[in-house]
């Protein structure tokens, strides 16, 4: 799927932080699911925009709009499944974000206060 490949290539940048990767993947999945849920509106809008004149030829099937809908839903499902297969490793990113330079200090302080029950004044800054 080209959409998933583009997302994968964008997330391979060296400066991308684990939290950004997880957020980007979750947003991508959410957007595809939103498109899938609005598919009837999208098909109706496309029909109203279409300027191609109706042909008088006999159509092979009467339910061509139904076929378009089914095909579109299948494409959306394939994109989501492909993204889930490609990014099934994202669960470890939560642990990796604990060691991010931006959050490490907060993580250490939180750990010391909750696990060792140390008061805040004993924790070095």
Is there a domain that residue 116 lies in? no
Give me the pLDDT at residue 14, please.
73
In a domain, 9, yes or no: yes
Q: Is residue 102 part of a domain?
A: no
Which range of residues forms the domain containing residue 33?
A: 2-89
How much is the pLDDT for 61? 56
Query: Tens of pLDDT along the chain (125 residues)?
Result: 677 888 888 877 777 777 788 788 888 889 999 989 998 888 888 778 876 666 666 555 555 777 888 888 999 999 989 888 888 876 666 666 666 667 667 777 776 667 767 676 666 66
Identify whether 16 is part of a domain: yes
Q: Is residue 45 part of a domain?
A: yes
What's the pLDDT score for residue 78?
Answer: 92
**Total structural domains within the chain:** 1
The residues, any chain, with a CB within 8 Å of residue 98's CB and separated by 6 or more, are 104, 107
């Amino acid at each position: 799927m080209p959409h998933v490949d583009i997302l994968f290539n964008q997330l391979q940048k060296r400066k991308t932080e684990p939290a950004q990767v997880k957020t980007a993947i979750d947003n991508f999945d959410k957007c595809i699911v939103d498109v899938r849920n609005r598919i009837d509106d999208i098909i109706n809008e496309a029909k109203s925009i279409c300027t191609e004149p109706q042909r008088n030829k006999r159509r092979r099937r009467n339910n061509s709009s139904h076929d378009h809908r089914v095909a579109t839903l299948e494409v959306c499902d394939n994109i989501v499944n492909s993204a889930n297969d490609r990014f099934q490793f994202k669960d470890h990113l939560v642990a990796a974000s604990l060691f991010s330079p931006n959050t490490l200090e907060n993580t250490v302080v939180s750990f010391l206060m909750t696990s060792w029950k140390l008061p805040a004044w004993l924790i070095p800054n």
